[in-house]
Amino acid sequence: MTEQDEAQASAEKGEQERNPLAMETLVALCASRGFIFPSSEVYGGINGFWDYGPLGVELKNNVKAAWWQRMVRMRTDVVGIDSAIISHPRAWEASGHVDHFSDPMVDCRNCKRRFRADQIEGERCPEAPKKRALPECDLTDARDFNLMLQTQIGASVDAQVTAYLRPETCQPIFTDFKRVRESARQKVPFGIAQIGKAFRNEITPRNFTFRSREFEQAEMEFFCHPSQRDEWFATWREERMRFHLEIGFDEQNLRFRPHAPDELAHYANAAEDVEFLFPFGWQEIEGVHDRGDWDLSRHSEFSGKDLIVTDEETKERYTPMVIETSMGVDRTCLALLVNAYTEEEVEGGETRNVMRLSPEIAPIKVAVLPLSKKLAEPARALHADLSRTLNTFYDDAGNIGRRYRRQDEVGTPFCVTYDFDSQDDAKVTVRERDTMDQARIPLDGLARYLRERVEGTA
């Protein structure tokens, strides 16, 4: 039995490994430091919807930029799009979502709450006396519940059309396939990528942002000849793991989980999830799927438009096969925060909270901290200079030790202290987050030095 098989077997037996970090600690930190907090919090929040604060939006933008850079800009065989959230309703009939995108659910006849039928084992009723085990409640038989969020389009009630907020970002990639291939002058094999919002009316949103009703996906559909599907599946599987390691995940917190044959969609040839070790066990952050020619064939059938390609050399006409990589941006952000959060004991028995995010992903790259408010003028000038190329924060409130700790806790990799000597020797102290090492660095060339450290090229 391989290590992975063992991990899967133990997960199936319910002996899940868990990341020891308490979720409550992270949720509280995310709210207090402005990473992520409930949407419309002043009204008590709305289940399954989250807002990203000043640090959260930077973190999320950095994750998306890292993905776009590697998946689109650094490749000649992948191009990007940004499609509308709402597609023609027929597109969701063709994709199978109108008929099949559902979870089985059960209702409790006593408390009237609704639960996912596949998630009642081991759960307790939140309402029943003494929170009895859910399976012992008076539950209805399972019924299918469609997860797509609907909206009405059109000004007059009579002429309104029901449309759907997309439950995944990939379908517009398929409907745009011909236009994008021709306009970008791409030939198979090539891919189309997009990052954007997706919506699912999840029955039980839970585990902070892990299962939300509004979330973002970063998806890439790679079109290839049928004879090359296994090769491209293997390539993208490796590429995606490499990406996660590059953005800072620890190797031991990631694994692949191949889908069992009975989990595979009827059109899928292979599928593997990239899983992360969350405090609530191993869970998916990305899927790599071989979707076959299902999507293009169905859109061709439903739209009446020909989505076949012709091999210029052999003149063979065929529908390309699709290898998909589908990453949840919010789940990846959450996993990165779990992965990065550490508490360590420092001199004097004090505890230091450190968010060990990679410099590429960290919301703030540099904090400028004048030793005294009297040094505000040159320190602000330095902040303005560094801000031109690096996200730089300015803080002159409180003692310097406390200011360092505040930056450690939100993951800022470098602190620059401007002190009374700086005016004479034209140097500042650069302190590193992880080692807490300090070095005097000349102001002349400081921006370049920091940029190289952030980019990892120094």
CB proximity list for 27: less than 8 A, separation 6 or greater: 208
- H helix intervals, 308-426: 329-340, 376-387, 400-410, 422-425
Cα of 156 vs its chain's centroid, Å: 38
Cα separation of the two ends of the chain: 43
Q: Is 217 in the site for ligand ATP (CB under 6 A)?
A: yes
Q: Is 385 in the site for ligand ATP (CB under 6 A)?
A: no
CA distance 240 to 361: 17
Cβ closest to ligand ATP, residue 215 vs residue 243: 215
Cβ closest to ligand ATP, residue 181 vs residue 331: 331
**Closest distance to ligand ATP from the beta carbon of 197 (Å):** 11
Q: Is 328 in the site for ligand ATP (CB under 6 A)?
A: yes
Q: Which of 163, 285, 371, 447 binds ligand ATP (CB under 6 A)?
A: 285
Q: What DSSP line would sit under 183-194, residue for residue?
A: HTT--SSEEEEE
Q: Is 331 in the site for ligand ATP (CB under 6 A)?
A: yes
Q: Where does residue 297 rank: exposed (0-12), middle (13-18), buried (19+ CB within 10 A)?
A: middle
Q: Is 169 in the site for ligand ATP (CB under 6 A)?
A: no
Nearest to 62 by CA among 365, 270, 355, 402: 365
- Nearest residue to ligand ATP, by Cβ distance, number only: 328
Q: Is 166 in the site for ligand ATP (CB under 6 A)?
A: no
Q: Which stretch binds ligand ATP (CB under 6 A): 78-86, 284-292, 347-355, 398-406?
A: 284-292
**Closest distance to ligand ATP from the beta carbon of 55 (Å):** 20
Q: Which stretch binds ligand ATP (CB under 6 A): 106-114, 156-164, 208-216, 405-413?
A: 208-216
Nearest to 240 by CA among 328, 339, 141, 120: 328
Cβ closest to ligand ATP, residue 329 vs residue 382: 329
Total of residues contacting ligand ATP (CB under 6 A): 15
Q: Which stretch binds ligand ATP (CB under 6 A): 104-112, 285-293, 376-384, 449-457?
A: 285-293
Nearest to 200 by CA among 116, 82, 307: 116
Q: Is 215 in the site for ligand ATP (CB under 6 A)?
A: yes
185 sits in the region (left: phi over 0; alpha: psi -120 to 50; else beta) called: left
Of 42-61, binders to ligand ATP (CB under 6 A) are: none
CA distance 96 to 386: 51
**Closest distance to ligand ATP from the beta carbon of 336 (Å):** 13
Q: Which stretch binds ligand ATP (CB under 6 A): 29-37, 171-179, 212-220, 353-361?
A: 212-220
The two tokens of residue 41 are 């919090």
Q: In what order do the strands lie in the sheet with 143-146?
A: 114-116, 102-107, 143-146
Q: Quick one: angle between helices 23-32 and 329-340, nearest 10?
A: 100
CA distance 242 to 134: 41
Nearest to 23 by CA among 208, 283, 215, 213: 208
**Closest distance to ligand ATP from the beta carbon of 212 (Å):** 4
CA distance 5 to 22: 27
Q: Which of 87, 95, 175, 212 binds ligand ATP (CB under 6 A)?
A: 212
Nearest to 411 by CA among 335, 346, 342: 342
Q: Is 276 in the site for ligand ATP (CB under 6 A)?
A: no
Q: Is 326 in the site for ligand ATP (CB under 6 A)?
A: yes
Q: Which stretch binds ligand ATP (CB under 6 A): 256-264, 324-332, 400-408, 439-447?
A: 324-332
Q: Which of 97, 166, 211, 229 binds ligand ATP (CB under 6 A)?
A: 211
Q: Is 417 in the site for ligand ATP (CB under 6 A)?
A: no
The two tokens of residue 356 are 């060990």
Cβ closest to ligand ATP, residue 167 vs residue 359: 167
**Closest distance to ligand ATP from the beta carbon of 119 (Å):** 11
Q: Which of 123, 230, 246, 284 binds ligand ATP (CB under 6 A)?
A: 284
CA distance 199 to 196: 10
**Closest distance to ligand ATP from the beta carbon of 263 (Å):** 9
Nearest to 31 by CA among 10, 65, 55: 55
Q: Is 230 in the site for ligand ATP (CB under 6 A)?
A: no
Q: Is 97 in the site for ligand ATP (CB under 6 A)?
A: no
CA distance 192 to 71: 9
Cβ closest to ligand ATP, residue 333 vs residue 371: 333
CA distance 331 to 327: 8
Give the footprint of ligand ATP on this chain (CB under 6 A): 168, 200, 202, 211-212, 215, 217, 284-287, 326, 328, 330-331
